[in-house]
Amino acid sequence: MKIEGGATIWARQTIDSEIFYNKPDKWFKIWFYLVAKANHTDNKRFKEGSCFLKYDWIMNATGANKNEVDHCIRWLKSATMIATQKATRGFIVNVLKYPDFQNLQNYKSDGNGETKAKQKRNKSDTINKNVKNGKNDKNKPNTCVAGNSSATREVFDYWISKLGHTKAKFTRDRKGKISARLKEGFSIDELKRAIDGCVASSYHMGDNDDGKVYDNINLIFRNAEKIESFWGYLKQKEQNYDKLTTRYSNR
């Protein structure tokens, strides 16, 4: 029997990968779609492992909304699983190391019939990126499902400790904002980093024309873009500190 459309290869270790095990369900659907759409051979327009896509196509195929697609794409890029390039009316996606993982000769069976990859795995692997073994469990990022009340409470308590809102109530609205961001795939540590970014921003700490402090938890976790903007404030502060340290160490 011949099956039209060809096929893609998925290693069994995929079920232990970060995107399969710890990220929102829609993220793996998006990842699966990208791999399935990638060219299996070079052609005049695209190399093997790359293809042209639009957000609308991904959304229609996976049922994900634009924010989910955008956040997933950003994470896949940061995890060095894909690279993207802007194009007219869309973008080009390159699934990194696609030829390696789609070559059956790179897999072998052991005595138990298990499938293993020949090449050594490391943190830069793509399809099985971030596969964890027992020795690496201690290095796992602090991630929790959105419905876990202890996760939302941990983030809320961290906000209190960093910004001094000791009388703040854990309201449904605040809990909902934290839970929504966790559901989008942000880890606890990433949300804490956004809080740190708010602290690092002199503008949000009151150095503005109105002299007001803008540190409301609903502001910090308004959406994915807001969180990433606060990461930017923290990164800038860290870079300034590194420059200052280097300057004094060179004296």
pLDDT of residue 244: 60
In a domain, residue 41? The reply is: yes
pLDDT of residue 131: 40
Same domain, 131 and 162: no
Number of structural domains in the chain? 2
Q: Decide if 185 contacts 75 (C-beta within 8 A).
A: yes
Which of these three, 137, 165, 193, is where a domain ends?
A: 137
89 and 184 part of one domain: no
> What is the residue-level pLDDT of the chain in tens, covering all 251 positions?
778 778 889 988 898 888 998 888 899 999 999 999 998 888 777 889 999 999 999 999 999 999 899 999 999 998 889 999 988 889 999 999 998 888 888 887 654 544 444 444 443 444 444 444 444 444 444 544 444 578 999 999 999 999 898 899 999 999 999 999 888 888 899 999 999 999 989 899 888 888 889 999 999 999 988 998 899 888 888 777 666 666 555 55
Q: Which residues pair with 107 in a beta bridge?
A: 117
- What distance in Å separates the CA atoms of residue 79 and residue 209, rounded to the nearest whole number? 39
Choose the final residue of a domain: 93, 110, 137: 137
Q: Indicate which CATH number applies to the domain containing 46.
A: 1.10.10.10
Assess whether 23 and 100 both reside in one domain: yes
> Residue 143: inside a domain, yes or no?
no
On the 0-12 / 13-18 / 19+ scale of CB atoms within 10 A, 7 is exposed
CB proximity list for 56: less than 8 A, separation 6 or greater: none
Query: Is 4 part of a structural domain of the chain?
Result: no
Same-domain status, 17 and 114: yes
Based on the domain organization, do 120 and 208 belong to the same domain?
Answer: no
Q: Across the chain, where does the E strand assignment appear?
A: 50-53, 82-87, 90-95, 107-109, 115-117
- Taking the C-alpha atoms of residue 126 and residue 103, their distance in angstroms, rounded to an integer, is 14
Same domain for 86 and 18: yes
Structural domain span for residue 89: 12-137
Quick one: 112 and 190 in the same domain? Answer: no
Residue 176 located in a structural domain: yes
Domain assignment of residue 2, yes or no: no
What does the pLDDT read at residue 4? Answer: 77
- Say yes or no: 133 and 16 in one domain: yes
